[in-house]
Amino acid sequence: KTKIILDVDTGVDDAMAVLTAALSPETDLLACTTTWGNIDVDQAARNTAAVLQLAGRSDVPVSRGAAGPRDGSPAWYSHNVHGVDGQGGQADTSFVPELSGETAVETILRLTREHPGEIELVAVGPFTNIAAALDADPTLPERVRGVTVMGGAFLAPGNVTPVAEANVIHDPEAAQVMVDADWRVTFVGLDVTMTDMITEVQRERLAAGGEIGQYVARILDFYFDFYREVTGERCAGNHDALAVAVATGLVVPTLAPTVRMEIDDTHGPGRGQTIADLRPMTNGWKVLNGARHCAVLEIEPGFTDRMIDLLAR
């Protein structure tokens, strides 16, 4: 079992990631930490706790994290993609979450001290909490097994601008701090999350399932409408759960080079771009030039279908 801390901005696909982590026998979900991004951080915490309750996993602590970008600029949200409540209009407005009492940073630091070298940090929202945890304790990289994130677009186009993916462009300064730290970050980006799409047939399987499946089918309804505008059909990228799957070994990437990575944090048209050095050099040359992170470029499709089986209960 892989121990993970899952950092989320619980929109629709984050909810599926939380459920996958909470229900999959391969995963030991120690905590969820929440961030701003798709919606504000309080709604993210509410959605996360609600989804854990639905999974029968209210034992997993939920901590509240950053409310906006690292540079102090105003937060902005993806309500058009995930709904104003982040759950495609399906969030229970009367639900009052019980939060851990710790901040996201406190949870990350405490758990990595309790389980040194064992925890995979999985971040599937803007990386503000991860950067703040590094500020609070620069020795954090010594205590984690690794970091896996949903973020970036390498050969694929972006989804917020021509070059930038949402989690990175929400807080490029935080993403840069994360890649500058002395650890290996595995980027599960749009190159792969837009390949194993969730289909209408799969959504119907969820709808015919149990309570969890029916809930996921309902939140996907809104998400599919957004993707229909983009792709022409009702379907959706399976972003965040794929990062959980890579982090916990549910999916082994077929192409995932070690790369030097830079984040464009300028204020020009390149802002938020993940620049991986994919030039065909030898490994020795690459390592000498700072290659340390991993850009997942290819996976075998099939995980999404297995995830649907897991959630259709």
Q: Which of 2, 4, 7, 11 binds ligand BDR (CB under 6 A)?
A: 11
Q: Which is nearer to Ca ion, 291 or 307 (CB)?
A: 307
Backbone angles phi, psi at 19, to 5 degrees: -65, -40
Residues 44, 12: contact at Cβ < 8 Å?
no
Least Cβ distance, residue 71 to ligand BDR (angstroms): 19
Residue 166 in contact with ligand BDR, rule: CB under 6 A:
yes
Residue 124 in contact with ligand BDR, rule: CB under 6 A:
yes
Residue 312 in contact with Ca ion, rule: CB under 5 A:
no
Residue 125 in contact with Ca ion, rule: CB under 5 A:
yes
Q: Which is nearer to ligand BDR, 17 or 177 (CB)?
A: 17
Active site residues: 9, 239
Q: Which of 34, 47, 48, 78 binds ligand BDR (CB under 6 A)?
A: 78
Residue 34 in contact with ligand BDR, rule: CB under 6 A:
no
Q: Which is nearer to ligand BDR, 81 or 244 (CB)?
A: 81
Q: Which is nearer to ligand BDR, 78 or 112 (CB)?
A: 78
Residues 240, 16: contact at Cβ < 8 Å?
yes
Binding residues with ligand BDR: total (CB under 6 A): 14
| Binding site partner of 81, from ligand BDR, Ca ion, none, Cβ cut-off 5-8 A by kind | ligand BDR
